[in-house]
């Protein structure tokens, strides 16, 4: 993406592995890379406070965050908060519809319902994805704050 700085986030217990993976996989020269704790819902208190202040984020990228039955609405609330602090930011969300360990389907519909009327959501067409990385099982969504009442709403899953 040509970023000058990237902040990678996860729950505190996952940060050592995230730091190791970032060190081994991030070779972009001139890119400042930091790893910080960030959670939502029951883990909200672990968030690094400076991440929740007005700051110019151009992109939020999330993958594998809509799992289980309790993560969707709190994650949507966090996204809306980050958008309120960074109204021009765009979220790229990678989503794979699959059952969790208990056989339950993640509640992405609840995530998108929380965004309805506040965000424009669109599926990224497969033609825009790198063919070597595209997968039929994973859908990429672009999400941003609505700028008017006439923008596209939330696509059906």
Look at residue 157 and tell me if it is in a domain.
no
The confidence score (pLDDT) of residue 51 equals 84
- For residues 81 and 33, membership in a common domain is answered with no
What's the whole-number average pLDDT of the chain? 83
Is 63 found in the same domain as 101? yes
Q: How far apart are CA 140 and CA 2, in angstroms?
A: 20
Residues 81-128 have pLDDT tens digits of: 999 999 999 999 998 877 666 665 667 888 999 999 999 999 999 899
Q: Are residues 15 and 56 in the same domain?
A: no
Residue ranges making up the domain that contains 68: 41-145
Average pLDDT over residues 13-40: 84
27 and 102 belong to one structural domain? no
H-type alpha helices, the chain: 15-25, 72-85, 108-115
Cα(139)–Cα(155) distance, rounded to whole angstroms?
12
pTM here? 0.82
Q: Are residues 63 and 27 in the same domain?
A: no
Q: Output the furthest CA–CA distance in the chain (Å, rounded).
A: 44
Q: How far is CA 71 from the centre of its chain?
A: 12
């Amino acid at each position: 993406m040509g970023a000058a700085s990237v902040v990678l986030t996860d729950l505190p217990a996952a940060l050592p592995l995230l730091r190791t993976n970032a060190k081994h996989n991030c070779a972009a020269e001139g890119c400042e890379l930091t790893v910080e704790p960030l959670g939502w819902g029951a883990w909200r208190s672990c968030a690094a406070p400076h991440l929740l202040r007005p700051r110019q984020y151009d992109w939020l990228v999330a993958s594998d965050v809509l799992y289980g039955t309790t993560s969707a609405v709190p994650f949507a609330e966090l996204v809306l908060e980050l958008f309120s602090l960074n109204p021009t930011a765009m979220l790229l969300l990678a989503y794979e519809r699959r059952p969790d360990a208990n056989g339950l389907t993640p509640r992405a519909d609840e995530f998108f319902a929380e965004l309805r009327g506040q965000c424009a959501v669109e599926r990224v067409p497969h033609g825009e994805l790198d063919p070597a990385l595209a997968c039929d099982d994973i859908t990429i969504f672009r999400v941003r704050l609505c700028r008017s009442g006439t923008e596209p709403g939330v696509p059906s899953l």
